[in-house]
């Protein structure tokens, strides 16, 4: 076997592995205790998008004034949030109170590299379809 060919193939494998490698990032979604339904839905959609991309989501509730005396309401809101994103992720850290904030971390069901590989496959498929359409147009 040719050593140059072997070296080239090893470099190509390493390049492909680097391309599919991805670091999981902790994304943050902030709520207030008295959040409106539409605002909640907007935050929920953002969190779902983060989880589908393979990132962890840190849900944080900010307490102000007298809201600090009702942390059970914050835990209830975070529990509702966890149930709503259960399709895309599961609770990694239960809700904890840190001073004026209550935080919870939700981890995605699939890892970042799988999500990125799937995204790359879809992108390549779309690119190939565009090339085929252009070639068919040129042939006419």
Domain ranges of the chain: 23-109, 111-140
Judge contact between 40 and 9, C-beta under 8 A: no
23-109 has CATH 1.20.210.10 classification: no
Comparing 72 with 111, which gets the higher pLDDT? 72
Quote the radius of gyration of the chain (alpha carbons, Å): 22
Judge contact between 64 and 34, C-beta under 8 A: no
pLDDT for 29-76, tens place per residue?
A: 999 988 999 999 999 999 999 998 888 999 999 999 888 888 999 999
Q: Give the model's pLDDT for residue 47.
A: 93
Mean pLDDT of 112-139: 83
**pTM, rounded to two decimals:** 0.67
Could you count the other beta carbons within 10 Å of the beta carbon of residue 17? Answer: 10
Residue 20 has pLDDT above 90, yes or no: no
The DSSP 8-state label assigned to residue 87 in this structure reads: T
């Amino acid at each position: 076997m040719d050593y140059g060919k072997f070296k080239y193939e090893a470099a190509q494998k390493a390049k492909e592995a680097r391309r599919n490698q991805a670091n999981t990032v902790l994304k943050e979604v902030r709520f207030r205790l008295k959040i409106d339904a539409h605002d909640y839905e907007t935050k929920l959609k953002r969190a779902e998008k983060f989880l589908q991309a393979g990132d962890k989501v840190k849900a944080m509730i900010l307490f102000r004034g007298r809201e600090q005396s009702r942390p059970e309401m914050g835990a209830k809101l975070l529990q509702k949030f966890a149930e709503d994103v259960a399709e895309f992720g599961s609770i990694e850290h239960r809700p904890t109170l840190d001073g004026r904030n209550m935080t919870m971390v939700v981890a995605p069901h699939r890892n970042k590299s799988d999500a990125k590989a799937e995204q790359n496959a879809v992108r390549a498929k779309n690119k190939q379809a565009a090339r085929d359409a252009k070639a068919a147009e040129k042939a006419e």
